[in-house]
Amino acid sequence: MKTLLRNRKALVGLAIIATIAILAIAAPLLTEYNPATRTGRPHQAPSMDHILGTTRIGQDVFARVLYGARTSLMVGFGAGLLITLVGTVLGIVAGYRGGKTDEVISFFTNMVLVVPNLPLLLVLAAFIGQASPVVIALILGATSWAWGARVTRAETLSVKQKDFVKSAEMMGERQWRIMAFEIFPNVISIVGINFIGSVIFAIITQATLEFLGLGDPRAISWGNMLFAAQKASALSVGAWWEILTPCFALAFLGIGMSLLNFAVDEIANPRLRTGNRLGRWSLLVRNGEGRL
């Protein structure tokens, strides 16, 4: 954690996410408007009354983007947690148990990896019909665990060979205990990377599914804002504020999450660092081995 706070990318990323979270929580304090109802004339340009303008049916864009942040964050973190949970459990079990268990789990993992994700989600969401944010989070959790399972399994395979695991086995520890208390804490960096990646994926995918018209149109979320704006041809009629607001919100959150992601990646693998603060390693390189 301390190393994380010393990394500039991580700090900026965390600051962005915290800002969005605070804005989302404080939404009722920041705007008097109800995001779901008509509060002004349709497609009003940004003004003092509506600082980010109104939608085609006269809802306040600023209120919608603030309340929408709640949905995006909750689906992102909820689905991310679910994806990571499934992936981690399957990965550790497959890697540690080996044999037939491993073969079965790996086969399914590889299969899920080659079936394209978005088309699969589209079919699921289309049949479920008007999927609410909770349902979207659930189907994301059910279909997107494969990458995490694969990397966790690979990491488990190497941890499994370590002496402390062998000694726990000798002492007759039960398998689930070894997996939960010996293996899991040692693959935690992979689990962390998997979690952040999954949150990014979930946020993007939820927005995409809703943009394609598969979400519940009553839910207030950034994806639905894009869908409504696209359906109202907001760009053609010049209502750029209706489309650009959720766009920038999504881009901002995406950049924040990715900065965090790359920072964790760098901490787990110090060679990848950029910038001036290459620390001891770069000094060593500069003095000793030239450009190597």
Site residues for other proteins per CB under 8 A = 107, 110-111, 113-120, 122-124, 126-128, 147, 200, 203-204, 207-208, 211-214, 226, 230, 235-236, 240, 243-244, 247-248, 250-251, 254-255, 257-259, 262, 265, 269, 271-276, 278, 282, 289-292
Least distance in angstroms from the C-beta of 211 to other proteins: 5
Single-letter code of the amino acid located at 66: L
* For other proteins, the closer CB: 33 or 145: 145
Which residue type does 14 have? L
Rank residues 124 and 220 by Cβ distance to other proteins and give the closer one: 124
- Identify which of residues 87 and 178 has a Cβ nearer to other proteins in the complex: 87
- Separation between Cα atoms, residue 222 and residue 226, nearest integer Å: 6
Rounded CA-CA distance 186/172 in Å is 20
Instruction: Name the residue among 193, 178, 4 with its Cα closest to residue 97.
Output: 178
Closest distance of CB 273 from other proteins, Å: 8
The CB-of-177 to other proteins minimum distance in angstroms stands at: 33
Task: Identify which of residues 161 and 276 has a Cβ nearer to other proteins in the complex.
Answer: 276
CB of 130 to other proteins, least distance (A): 11
b/e map 256-274, b = 16+ CB within 10 Å: bbbbbbbbbbbbeeeeebe
Q: Count Cβ atoms below 10 Å from residue 211 Cβ, excluding itself.
A: 20
CB of 151 to other proteins, least distance (A): 11
Q: What helix, strand, coil percent values describe the chain, rounded to 5?
A: 75, 0, 25
Q: Tell me whether residue 32 or residue 289 sits nearer to other proteins (CB atom).
A: 289
